[in-house]
Amino acid sequence: MFTAEKNISDQIDHLFRHEYGKLVSVLTKTFGTPHIQLAEDVVQEAMLEALNQWNYNGVPENPVGWIYKVAKYKAVNVLNREKYKRQYASDVAQQLQSEWTLKPALDYIFTDKEVADDQLRMIFTCCHPSISSDSQVALTLKTLCGFSIPEIAKAFLTHEENINKRLVRARKTIKEANISFEVPIGKALEKRLSSVLETVYLLFNEGYDATSGNHPIRYELCEEAVRLAEIIASNPNTKSTNIYALLALMSLNMSRFKSRVDEFDNVLDLEHQDRSLWDRALIKKGLYYLEMATQQNEVSIYHILATISAQHCTAVDYQSTDWASILELYDMLVQIDKSPIVLLNRAVVLSKTTHPKEALEQLNKIGDSQSFRTYLPYYTTRAELHFQNKEPQKAIDLLNEALKLPLDVNHKDLINSKLRDYSGDN
């Protein structure tokens, strides 16, 4: 019974990740943007009802259709129950309140095209300039991607309380400003598209290096990020060289998924990955997107990161990696983004082209950043560089500090393995 219940719970989680944002987007159009929280509540109720009923009756033949049907009629019940209490902005809401137009309206708003368009409208609504940039990303991850507050906090390297405050502020702003549920045009589109792409990239990174769950890679989150990016790229009004560059970056990074973890779910770095496991079709796809991204004379963070990833994916082996070219790319990246994490990654590349001592000196300049206090790669990178610099005790001390962080079992096992290597234990 426990195994069956876990299987159902896993299916609900899968559906939640893949369908949550779609349903919330459609229902936000139905209820109006001031009632985003209501849309989320209806979807969460539908998911909870699925969990309760499927545990007793088993999973239906068409689970997605089942969830959609329940969400549809819960929405209709809300409209009928509160139609005299609320003023809904949506014309669709009026159609759902009439028995004559109910079924055709439901059939129309849940077509694949409308669902895709509503998701595009939703993400641009969340990234409205009236909302602060940090709240934009947090709101999109919560409403469109189904992130929990702890997951968003991990992605931002901040506290859950801060994220909750951002979400409250964002929803309040949407309601008070009566932000329209639409894709902007002209210069407004260009400005908000950058926030949209940042959100998609954060979503991908959460899957690529998971901060929660039992596995170091959460494939479904990466797939969701790619799906959202493809929706943006497929719309003639929103496609751009930047979205192609981001698709290139994600495709190239995903091509290495099968080699990133060993049989014990420990993350492997590039040096120890089996390159025969790399997905050549995805590499080809990523290089195609990268070519599309260079059609105009524009260079963004995504262009540079995608080119760096392409350097790794096209190297025959680790030893033949063109580290000098990658360092030049990081020097370009630093001109755009001087964040501590970018500087950390640059230091790693610098250590490949010069002595690790120089890389350590660079890291010492940014070591006081608050972002690094709970950032595991900072500890492991410095430890590795000290070990390469023939300072094993400093490396061991750093890893012992890292063990004090809130880590999952896989990361603790990885650190303990490195501790044995640095101390000379077999």
**Per-residue tokens: 100:** 């004559």
**How large is the average pLDDT for residues 232-254?**
95
Q: Do residues 76 and 105 lie in contact, with contact meaning Cβ atoms separated by under 8 Å?
A: no
Distance CA 216, CA 194 (A): 28
Distance CA 127, CA 121 (A): 10
More confident residue, 245 or 72: 245
pLDDT in tens, 89-127: 455 555 555 554 556 666 667 777 888 889 999 989 998
Distance CA 183, CA 181 (A): 7
Q: Is residue 147 part of a domain?
A: no
- Residue 342's CATH number: 1.25.40
**Per-residue tokens: 125:** 């609504």
The torsion of the CA quartet 236, 242, 244, 245, rounded to 10 degrees, works out to 180
Q: How does residue 1 score in pLDDT terms, banded at 50, 70 and 90?
A: very low
Q: Is residue 188 part of a domain?
A: no
Burial category of 236 from C-beta neighbours within 10 Å (exposed 0-12, middle 13-18, buried 19 and up): exposed
Distance CA 151, CA 48 (A): 20
Q: Is residue 279 part of a domain?
A: no
| Counted domains in the chain | 1
250 strand-pairing partners: none
Q: Do residues 90 and 32 lie in contact, with contact meaning Cβ atoms separated by under 8 Å?
A: yes
Amino acid at the residue 58:
G
pLDDT in tens, 172-224: 999 898 888 989 888 888 888 988 898 889 888 878 875 555 566 777 778 88
Distance CA 247, CA 285 (A): 9
pLDDT at 158: 80
Q: Is residue 44 part of a domain?
A: no
The pTM score is 0.79
Q: Is residue 245 part of a domain?
A: no
Residue 267, phi then psi, degrees to nearest 5: -75, 135
Angle among Cα 183, 185, 188 to the nearest 5 degrees reads 95
What are the residue ranges of helices labelled H in 110-159?
A: 112-126, 133-143, 149-156
Distance CA 405, CA 408 (A): 9
Tell whether the model's pLDDT for residue 146 goes beyond 90. no
Q: Which long-range contacts (CB under 8 A, 24 or more apart) does 296-301 make?
A: 296/241, 298/241, 298/242, 299/332, 300/241, 300/242, 300/245, 300/336, 301/333, 301/336, 301/337
- The range of the structural domain enclosing residue 399 comes to 335-426
- Do you know the residue count of the chain? 426
**How large is the average pLDDT for residues 128-151?**
85
